[in-house]
Chain A
Amino acid sequence: MSVRVGKTAAAPSFPVAAKAALKNSQLRHNVHHATDVIRDKRALRVEEMPDWQALRGAAAAIKAHTLRHLDRYLVEFERNCTRAGGQVHWARDADEANAIAIRLIRGYSGEGPAEVIKVKTMTSDEVQMNAALEAAGITPYETDLADMIVQMGDDEPSHIVVPALHKNRREVRDLFREKMGRPELSDNPEDLTHAARTYLRDRFLNVRIGIGGANFAVAETGAVCVVESEGNGRMCVTLPEVLITLVGIEKVVPRFADLEVFLQLLPRSATGERMNPYNSLWTGVQAGDGPRIFHVILLDNGRTKMMADAMERETLQCIRCGACLNACPVYRETGGHAYGSIYSGPIGAILSPQLQGLEHSRSLPYASTLCGACYEVCPVKINIPEILIHLRGREVREDQRSLRALTSENLAMQAAALAFTSQRRYEAAQRLARMGQRLFQRGDELVKLPGMAGGWTKYRDLRAIPAQSFRDWWKQRGATPPTTTTTTTNTTGSEDA
């Protein structure tokens, strides 16, 4: 099995990549500006909904229920989509999904050079479909403006909803001038948008195969729903003769009526709009309207691994709105590329390691301050901070069964665990630390601690351990300290009363 999430396995760890990103002031300016704008708009549009919390609750309940019965709903979707003239395929992993897509495209276009138009789908980025298509001699054209910017610049998406938010207008202008051969283009966003319209129009009208994703797949009817703004989605699902839709298995919802919840939550959370300009819903194939042939590829790629544990399964409730990215104080400083995954920000920090296995993105569960802003804005109430802590714990437990148990961090933590579980050992450690800290003490502060602890003092203040602990002071004044059976629990507050 080859579960892949973009190029995550080859990416540097988050702290290394983040350090480089923090030095790029242009990038930080671009990310700050974009996330500020979306956050403000979202806040405004959520504020005007008196039943926002009830909608969040309903969405979380529908998603939790669906995942609990996912086998049933997937089979129901397959049956209804097939009955309406669609053809359903199943892919265990990225390679299988790409192989199915390539086999289908070759079946319709023959062996010569082939072209496909694509509508923004993170799932296709996840399986790196464009690279697979190109290797097979098939040219994919991304049609979402931001995706086109990313594709032309041989770049990676840095945001789930606005993948090119790390680029400003001048950078886009330079890219378009070069790749479209239009040296006269200005950096006015309106001109750049119209250049994209002109560039893609012929392709929309002439390319015979479309590839897209889905925001929702309705089990009850076999319908598929694409949520978008530019109209490129409508073009891609309407004009080609053949349409191939790649859908993560978690995107299924039980009933058509469930859309009344998600179509309220998604646009307000994602772009701060009351409703996005276009939602397209279609069921199989329709005589005289749209593609004659419709294929759906249902993708696992690691999703089923997350289903046994109730907390990990919650991650699959995500509807890819990106609100947690815009709210995250870490994402807002580093941008998306530092996460080394096409799924960045808080949701990426829990999704990528679980899809791909913790060993490929060990640093991601730590790429958070656990402030909880992501949970607060999540329209499907995924408790991201709790899942981050759960994953940190899982990683440590996995390490302790491997050679990593011998790292200085793990040994130090084991020693701390020993010290904290006995009053005698704790007080001995305290005495030892009081002697040792003199080397690093400047006034009341500890500076430039050696080894691992240096990571803390490099960026943060750390008070030195005071000469006398509260317990020592209490003993000295002749009173009896309050002893309980768990005597060690209150000794950490040893500074003063």
Chain B
Amino acid sequence: MSEQTPAQPSARDEILARIRTALGAGLPAELTSQKPTPEAAYRRTGQLNRVAVLDLFVDRLKDYDAEVLQVGDERGLAGALGDALNGARELCAVVAEGFPEAWLPMGFEFLRDGGLSGLLSIAALDSAQAVVTTCAVAIASTGTIVLVHGGTQGRRAATLLPDHHICLVRRGQVLELVPEALERLKADDPAPITTISGPSATSDIEMTRIRGVHGPRRLTVVLYGPAELEPVS
């Protein structure tokens, strides 16, 4: 530590010493267990069937002012994306390099971020009207999509600056409960994670909920694919 001088203990050593001194004094034995958590008595596995889980997800998304579009499978994605962009009167959207060409509708400009074309500038991201990404998992009970950034899920700035985020979610990625979803993320993956529940919002003035502050003001979720839960990859 650069704030260390040779004559004095470093702040690190001193703080750790204070903790050890404090904890040394007469602690009840039951707290000294090395086990990080007790057996979970809370729900870690959902009880709903797949249809109910997906219904719940849609209900919770709408409750948070997200727009929901449903298509059968991949072949419907281009049409749904066109509808989402048209509905918002948008012409220009960002997608990550490697995003499947077949999913993109005709008649719009798609800016590629990353790969051989290089990263888009902050200004370019800011002037784009929309961004289209996939997600890692989704949570029905809270209406949440989870991005593990990188690949077709985009880097963080790309999913933040455009005013409209369109997220493609396979039905098989939707889990009922928060613990089920977090369990599917790999703790040792250093990629940044963003969980998103509806568009950005604030209630700071008289507790009136206002949709759209600094993050995207619109969130559209496009659901596709079979309802069966996908196996853990």
- The reply to whether A229 and B190 form a contact with Cβ atoms under 8 Å apart is no
Question: What chain B residues lie within 8 Å of A275 (beta carbons)?
Answer: 139, 142-144, 178, 195, 197
The distance from the CB of A103 to the nearest CB of chain B, in whole angstroms, is 8
Counting CB contacts under 8 A, is B164 at the interface?
A: no
Among candidates A71, A168, A298, residue contacting B206 with C-beta atoms closer than 8 Å:
A168
Counting CB contacts under 8 A, is A8 at the interface?
A: no
Instruction: Name which of B19-27, B71-79, B99-107, B220-228 contacts chain A.
Output: B19-27
Among candidates A165, A220, A286, residue contacting B192 with C-beta atoms closer than 8 Å:
A286
Range class of the A interface residue count:
35 or more
Counting CB contacts under 8 A, is A310 at the interface?
A: yes
Interchain CA distance A62-B35 in the complex, whole Å: 9
- The reply to whether A277 and B207 form a contact with Cβ atoms under 8 Å apart is no
- The reply to whether B11 and A200 form a contact with Cβ atoms under 8 Å apart is no
Which among B119, B141, B188, B201 has the greatest number of chain A C-beta atoms within 10 A? Answer: B201
The distance from the CB of B69 to the nearest CB of chain A, in whole angstroms, is 20
Q: A37-B207, A58-B41 are in contact. List 6 more A-B contacts (CB 8 A).
A: A58-B40, A65-B37, A146-B204, A232-B213, A278-B194, A279-B195
- The reply to whether A307 and B37 form a contact with Cβ atoms under 8 Å apart is no
Among candidates B11, B31, B155, B200, residue contacting A288 with C-beta atoms closer than 8 Å:
B155
- The reply to whether A280 and B192 form a contact with Cβ atoms under 8 Å apart is yes
Counting CB contacts under 8 A, is B114 at the interface?
A: yes
- The reply to whether A34 and B42 form a contact with Cβ atoms under 8 Å apart is no
Counting CB contacts under 8 A, is B130 at the interface?
A: no
Interchain CA distance A402-B40 in the complex, whole Å: 49
- The reply to whether A200 and B214 form a contact with Cβ atoms under 8 Å apart is yes
Question: What chain B residues lie within 8 Å of A280 (beta carbons)?
Answer: 156, 192-194
Counting CB contacts under 8 A, is A471 at the interface?
A: no
Interface residues of A in 53-72 (CB under 8 A from B): 54-55, 57-58, 61-62, 64-66, 68-71
Question: What chain A residues lie within 8 Å of B229 (beta carbons)?
Answer: none
Interchain CA distance A279-B147 in the complex, whole Å: 10
**Given A255-B187, A276-B197: A189 touches B206 (CB 8 Å cut-off):** yes
**Given A50-B43, A162-B204, A162-B207: A274 touches B197 (CB 8 Å cut-off):** yes
Instruction: Find the A residue at minimum CB distance from B194.
Output: A280
- The reply to whether B42 and A278 form a contact with Cβ atoms under 8 Å apart is no
Question: What chain A residues lie within 8 Å of B141 (beta carbons)?
Answer: 274
- The reply to whether A307 and B215 form a contact with Cβ atoms under 8 Å apart is no
- The reply to whether A58 and B38 form a contact with Cβ atoms under 8 Å apart is yes
- The reply to whether A51 and B41 form a contact with Cβ atoms under 8 Å apart is yes
Instruction: Find the A residue at minimum CB distance from B34.
Output: A69
- The reply to whether B16 and A71 form a contact with Cβ atoms under 8 Å apart is yes
Question: What chain B residues lie within 8 Å of A61 (beta carbons)?
Answer: 37-38
Question: What chain B residues lie within 8 Å of A197 (beta carbons)?
Answer: 212-214
Which among A54, A172, A308 has the greatest number of chain B C-beta atoms within 10 A? Answer: A308
Counting CB contacts under 8 A, is A128 at the interface?
A: no
The distance from the CB of B32 to the nearest CB of chain A, in whole angstroms, is 6
Interchain CA distance A298-B14 in the complex, whole Å: 12
The distance from the CB of A234 to the nearest CB of chain B, in whole angstroms, is 5
- The reply to whether A260 and B179 form a contact with Cβ atoms under 8 Å apart is yes
Among candidates A71, A149, A258, residue contacting B37 with C-beta atoms closer than 8 Å:
A258
- The reply to whether A192 and B205 form a contact with Cβ atoms under 8 Å apart is yes
Interchain CA distance A295-B195 in the complex, whole Å: 23
Instruction: Find the B residue at minimum CB distance from A227.
Output: B195
Interchain CA distance A310-B191 in the complex, whole Å: 37
Question: What chain A residues lie within 8 Å of B34 (beta carbons)?
Answer: 69
Residue interface mask A230-252, B partner, CB < 8 A = 1: 11101100110000000001000
- The reply to whether B36 and A258 form a contact with Cβ atoms under 8 Å apart is yes
Among candidates A75, A149, A277, residue contacting B200 with C-beta atoms closer than 8 Å:
A277
Question: What chain A residues lie within 8 Å of B208 (beta carbons)?
Answer: 189
